[in-house]
Structure 1
Amino acid sequence: MGNAHRGGTRKANDGARIILTTLVGVVFGFFLGASFPTVSLTKINLPSSIISSLDVAMDVQKSPRTRITETHNQGSPKIPKIYVPTNPRGAESLPPGIVASGSDFYLRRLWGEPSEDLNKKPKYLVTFTVGFDQRKNIDAAVKKFSDDFTILLFHYDGRITEWDQYEWSKNAIHISVKKQTKWWYAKRFLHPDVVAAYEYIFIWDEDLGVEHFNAEKYIELVKKHGLEISQPGLEPNNGLTWQMTKRRGDREVHKDTEEKAGWCSDPRLPPCAAFVEIMAPVFSREAWRCVWHLIQNDLVHGWGLDFALRRCVEPAHEKIGVVDSQWIVHQVIPSLGSQGKSENGKAPWEGVRERCRTEWAEFQSRLANADKAYLAQISKAKAKRLLYKRAGL
């Protein structure tokens, strides 16, 4: 009996100690928590990838155009898997807010805040395909363009450092690949997404006299007359091939002309309208997006391209024109011909000219075949729809 009593007392004492310890722990924990400031999740330096994943998981709006599923990686939090078909091709797995589809030729610093890199963003791009022998001509031409223009030189002779004698050259973009044409460069370096920052793109030869040309006034007239594809008028006494590009002294802009009998099947078609030459064209950003796709990757001289430019604007006879009051002189310097190679007893320039003609014929053939294939496809589709309709399907 005595032993049982002592055992019951010990159990009672143990229970009291447990209760007392618990109470002390609760009180201690309360005062400990009160002694620390409130911790905010936003003040914790979590990796940005984790924050981004949390944001997407919590905030993204699910829509018919965006498919989001959650995947689980062992030992890691849920990561959203994104598919956005309206994103640019290849970027469907990215959230639209991070997609940077455009680019530019703006020069950036290696230090400081990116938002402070540029004091001014040029609105237009002018390119010249050049050899060093024409440096004086290019120097005069570049000085006609203000700091609203990014200057880009394509060097077909490989000489770049010599251009540093000109102060403007230090801020220009230089791309050098030997013995290539401006359309070769344009196809490879002027993708529409690369030049998306510029309202107008000038793609000019190196042998143009610009004494009577003002770039800012030219842009004003292009906008005033709604020209998507244009060129300055040409001095009629030198280097003129087509009547359409001949400068007229009685107006600001013209969009049509009269040619030799039989040359124009329609007064609204090239070379009587909807036509500029390939020596000094100027394209709006929207028109260039189409023209870039029209340029054939392997046809580097661009012959025949001027007759097809009308396919990139509508109506072409209203949106393609020649600016008469800002005119240039075509000096007809056959510098690119010297970059050819003498073969089969022909001079270098003869081989170059022969390829120009060959490319023109090839381009016309490709375009005609593409039209034919497209029309056949459309006719087939119409016939199929008619057949289904008759069958009551």
Structure 2
Amino acid sequence: MAKFGAVGRSAILRNPNETMRLIITIIVGVVFGFFVGISFPSISITKLHFPSSIISYIEEKNSGLSTQALLNHAWATVTNQKNIDPPQLPFDERKIYVPTNPRGAESLPPDIIASESDFYLRRLWGSPSEDLPIKPRYLVTFTVGYEQRKNIDAAVKKFSEEFTILLFHYDGRTTEWDEFEWSKRAIHVSSRKQTKWWFAKRFLHPDIVAPYDYIFIWDEDLGVEHFNPIEYIRLVRKHGLEISQPGLDPNKGLTWQMTKRRGDREVHKETTEKAGWCSDPHMPPCAAFVEIMATVFSRDAWRCVWHMIQNDLVHGWGLDFALRKCVEPAHEKIGVVDAQWIVHQVVPSLGNQGEIVEGKAPWEGVRKRCRKEWGMFQNRMTEAEKNYFEQKRHENSNTDSIAAANSTFN
């Protein structure tokens, strides 16, 4: 056996070329069989792992060929025999970028984008397509405290299944409302000591309320004995109102002349006020004007109004005079529905949510902030419009200068 071993080693030493050919043939055969067997041309041959002793031996003994070159040659041999090219995916098929998608969603395919939502309640079981026997077309919101539950109960019962009911709770009491059967189907949002417009800015984004034709944003102290919501909407559509409110009982509470109910018509869009109050008969408070206690917005009008609501001005004072900026012509598309009217009960519940400061009653501090916000909102609107028109004049001036220069040059 010792002699045989010596002879064998001598033979290998005497025939190194034959040994190399044998090793390379084995490698090529293994590689070919591997790729034929799995038939996945996308897998690179360079990712195969061979024993390091074989790789080292080849690199040391071959005639100037590196391991990578040998493996590439093996891959070329296989693909030439099978006539298969390595897959070449263009860049745009590997990565999605759609600049017209909503901001932040550019990497998503457009067909998966769900840019709008709703307040429809969904089940935890069954098919999603069967969740909603009725899709409400209208949304009504009330900003409420538990003390006004009887009044809200009477109001909500006026609204049919075509309305989604959304309660904004400013006193933190929500579960107590389950004494009413309808409350279990309503949406409840709670945050202590916040106002209607604070809730509206944060929870009534236009893309959230997009499924609803009309959005009612109402106070809690409204008597609805003479109000029918479906008939109200019929009249709003008939008279082309984008922003509206029911007429107010002229004998209850303080109100503007514009929002007082008239008993001889379905709708009115203008009025007369005290001398000097209306410099233009088509401007507030003589026209293009409703109050903010029981406002009803079309979907399109609300999209504009929502953007006008300021984050830090929570009482909404001043909005009623600015609503006209969201519809055109405002004196035709803003009006009061007289045939469906309500009673403003003037319950000072919001004032009671304030705090005693410097010995003054809570409502005094609330009222003071309301007036302050009114002035702040008016100033912001005035400044915003001033800045806009100054910028436009500057742009037009630059355009005219360029045009004049071009004309002179020509």
TM-score strictly above 0.5: yes
Do residues 119 (structure 1) and 133 (structure 2) align?
A: yes
Q: Which residue of 1 aligns with 2:321?
A: 307
CA distance in 2, matches of 1:322, 1:240: 16
1:280 equivalent among 291, 294, 314: 294
* Partner SS for 2:96: strand
CA distance in 1, matches of 2:288, 2:153: 31
Q: Which residue of 1 aligns with 2:188?
A: 174
Do residues 223 (structure 1) and 237 (structure 2) align?
A: yes
Q: Which residue of 2 aligns with 1:324?
A: 338
CA distance in 2, matches of 1:332, 1:111: 45
Q: Which residue of 2 aligns with 1:52?
A: none
Q: Which residue of 1 aligns with 2:360?
A: 346
Do residues 268 (structure 1) and 282 (structure 2) align?
A: yes
Number of residue pairs the alignment of both structures matches? 319
Asked if the contact 1:184/1:300 (under 8 Å) is kept, the reply is yes
Q: Which residue of 1 aligns with 2:201?
A: 187
Q: 1:240: how far off?
A: 3.1
RMSD of the alignment, in Å? Answer: 1.2
* Partner SS for 1:299: coil
User: Can you give the 5+ residue segments of structure 2 that lack an aligned partner in the other structure?
Assistant: 1-88
Q: Which residue of 1 aligns with 2:76?
A: none
Do residues 249 (structure 1) and 263 (structure 2) align?
A: yes
| One-letter amino acid matched to 1:218 | Y
- CA offsets 1:92-138 (integer angstroms, 9 cap, x no match): 22222111111000000111111111111000000000000000000
| One-letter amino acid matched to 2:165 | I
1:84 equivalent among 69, 74, 98: 98
CA distance in 1, matches of 2:227, 2:380: 36
Q: Which residue of 1 aligns with 2:399?
A: 385
Q: Which residue of 2 aligns with 1:150?
A: 164
* Partner SS for 2:240: coil
Moved more, 356-365 or 82-91: 82-91
- CA offsets 1:9-47 (integer angstroms, 9 cap, x no match): xxxxxxxxxxxxxxxxxxxxxxxxxxxxxxxxxxxxxxx
In structure 2, relative to structure 1, the CA distance for the partners of 1:114 and 1:345 (3 Å cut) is same
Q: Which residue of 2 aligns with 1:11?
A: none
Q: 1:70: how far off?
A: 4.0
Q: 1:390: how far off?
A: 0.5
Q: Which residue of 2 aligns with 1:36?
A: none
* Partner SS for 2:155: helix
Q: 1:79: how far off?
A: 4.5
Q: Which residue of 2 aligns with 1:24?
A: none
1:210 equivalent among 217, 224, 249: 224
Asked if the contact 1:158/1:176 (under 8 Å) is kept, the reply is yes
Do residues 334 (structure 1) and 348 (structure 2) align?
A: yes
* Percentage of identical aligned residues: 76
CA distance in 2, matches of 1:92, 1:291: 28
* Partner SS for 2:198: helix
Q: Which residue of 2 aligns with 1:357?
A: 371
CA distance in 1, matches of 2:240, 2:198: 28
CA distance in 2, matches of 1:92, 1:239: 53
Q: Which residue of 2 aligns with 1:43?
A: none
Do residues 107 (structure 1) and 121 (structure 2) align?
A: yes
In structure 2, relative to structure 1, the CA distance for the partners of 1:357 and 1:70 (3 Å cut) is farther
| One-letter amino acid matched to 2:276 | G
Q: Which residue of 2 aligns with 1:137?
A: 151
* Partner SS for 1:203: strand
Q: 1:241: how far off?
A: 1.9
Q: Please identify the structure whose Cα radius of gyration is greater.
A: 2
CA distance in 2, matches of 1:345, 1:156: 24
CA distance in 2, matches of 1:372, 1:191: 27
* Partner SS for 2:141: strand
Q: Which residue of 2 aligns with 1:28?
A: none
